[in-house]
Structure 1
Amino acid sequence: MSQPRFHFQRLDQDRFQPTEYAQSHWGPDHLNGPAVVGLAAHVLEGCYGLDEFLPARLTVDLFKAARGVPTIAKTELIRDGRRVRNSECELTQDGVPVARAVLVQYRRAEAPRGTEWVRPSHFSIPPQLDEAPGINIGSDALGWTSAIADHQNADRKRTFNRTIDVVDDAPSSPFVRAAMTAEGTSLVTNLGTAGVGYINGDLTVALSRLPVDDWIGLEADSHWAADGIAVGAATLFDRDGAFGTGLVTAVSNPGAQIDFADDPFPTRTR
């Protein structure tokens, strides 16, 4: 039986210790984006989530590189309305803020009359989903493989995976898994012929519904770049189709560009 994998171990009600699985490719002792985003989403939903409300938008500003030290989550309910709930979470390390998240929840309701435009879309799913640890990543040129290095090209990219849990003492919810998957917007939009040279400073994930199961896909929609600044958008999908959007802004980081052909963590990207 395989050992459980998770990004953080809970030390106290609001204190968390990063594990080896939270480590980033960007540098020694840096935490990866999905871990940071996932922790903020987990804490906010745990404190303020309600069944009758959908967590419709999560915006996370990544102020600086989070590191492998105890992380404290501070939360606040900003507005408790009949139809809209707003809450915030600040993650700090050694007394310094490393990320701040804002969650907007809407009360579920009956849809209005009429029919709206929907972008035609067809999402491919890997023919045989790998049950072992690893990833599924694809591009228009190569189709699906299990190594990011295979897709260092200039084609459209997509992923379809199950995330690991954020915290050791509780399974991640559909919302948390969607938020963690959406952080991959930076990967599927910024991965090019020489790897990833842009580092995102934020994530916004907007959801019309929650995913139907643990398997969640992400497909690049757009990538615009000028003067070392990039904007990327991607669509979240599951076995039933599209259900949300991920958006990131990123800044050029050529000094620490990640070339997956020389990957320091091959077991995580294969």
Structure 2
Amino acid sequence: MTDKTPGYFESVDSGFEPTRWSASQWSSAQVVGPALCGLMAHQLELEHATDGFVPVRLTVDMFSAARFAHTTTPTVRIRDGKRIRVADISVLQNGQPVARATAVLLRPSEQPPGALWTRAEQPVPPQRDDSTMSHRPPLFGSDANPDTWSLAPTDNENDSRKRTWQQPIRALAEAELTPFVRAAIVGEATSLVTNWGDKGIGFINTDLTLALARLPEGLDIGVEADNHLSEDGIAVGTATLFDRRGSFGSAMVTAVSNAGRQISTAQLDIAVRGRTPTDTAHP
């Protein structure tokens, strides 16, 4: 693999190996959450999104630190009905589970009649369209700077609502991203935008629940925080996912305090620069 095709994992005989792109900000010895979400989404879609079924929900549990080790991902189909399909996947390292996920897949049909309420104030993508660029670095914004998207997280070091606009790298270096896998990788940023305050990030998420009314369009996806609730070191965050067509899904994370290893906003700046392939630097 070269920097021209970065990916979180590489396929090897009977499994996968994490690459350097998978290193977490919490510890360089751990695999970052988006990598695990992307890998599980890829395998679930590959093996179960068939016969006209589309993935509409992904629920991920990350209950143990994934390491830089040989990884396998067995899946099993739990339910296979005419309109609803459910499948499970486990992430195994050294024979032990470090994460798992469940996907719900539905067969699309016609819309029912009638008008429904929806969120009035929709997230707004950046005016500048970099969708033709490969691996463009993420952008960040907040309500404190509502008309500005920045390459530097430190430009949004405040306690207002956060948002990000991202074009992720591949889950597997050799496999093009599908819209579902793209949504799973970027959707994990729900933890970032909901747990990011004026002194950085002190909560680490243990899960992700992604719900999609439709699959995203284009290469870029935005995540805008809807709410953050926390007490006694436990947090819940919710966010809206959007593309240039509009909002297409929601995400929720629960998180536990990791204040002893608080990630400062300056550290986020360094992490963003380290994850941006050097051959496609943003002008």
| TM-score, scaled to structure 1 | 0.95
Paired position in structure 1 for 2:8 = 7
Q: Does the CA contact (< 8 Å) of 2:195 and 2:228 recur in 1?
A: yes
Q: Distance in 2 between matches of 1:77 and 1:248?
A: 25
Cα distance, 1:213 vs. partner?
Answer: 1.2
Q: Secondary structure at the match of 1:205?
A: strand
What's the CA shift string for 1:105-145, capped at 9, x where partnerless?
A: 11100111111111212322223245364211111113210
2:142 maps to which of 129, 139, 155 = 139
Hey, what's the Cα distance between the residues in 2 that align with 1:184 and 1:28?
Answer: 18
Report percent identity of matched pairs.
46
Contact 1:135 1:268 in 2 (8 A): no
Distance 1:12 1:111 in 2: 44
Summarize the alignment of residues 34-113 of structure 1 with structure 2, pairs less than 5 Å apart: 34-50=34-50, 52-113=52-113
From 185, 189, 192, the equivalent of 1:187 is 192
Equivalenced residue count is 269
What's the offset of the Cα at 1:91? 0.1
Structure 1 runs not aligned, ≥5 long = none
Give the stretch that moved more between structures: 188-197 or 257-266.
Answer: 257-266
Specify the alignment match of 1:265 in structure 2. 271
- 135-144 vs 244-253, which moves further: 135-144
The alpha-carbon deviation at position 266 of structure 1 amounts to: 4.8
Query: C-alpha offsets along residues 33-91 of structure 1, whole Å, 9 cap, x if unaligned?
Result: 10001100001111111262221110000011111111110110111110000000000
TM-score (norm 2): 0.91
Deviates more, 1:157-166 or 1:134-143: 134-143
Over the aligned positions, Cα root-mean-square deviation in angstroms equals 1.6
Q: In the alignment, is the contact (CA less than 8 A) between 1:77 and 1:88 conserved in 2?
A: yes
Asked whether the equivalents of residues 27 and 256 of structure 1 are also in contact (C-alpha less than 8 Å), the reply is no
Distance 1:26 1:85 in 2: 35
Partner of 1:255: 260
Matched with 1:201 is 206
**In 2, are the aligned partners of 1:146 and 1:269 still within 8 Å (CA)?**
no
SS of residue paired to 2:217: coil
Counterpart of 1:159?
A: 164
Unaligned runs of at least 5 residues, structure 2: 277-283
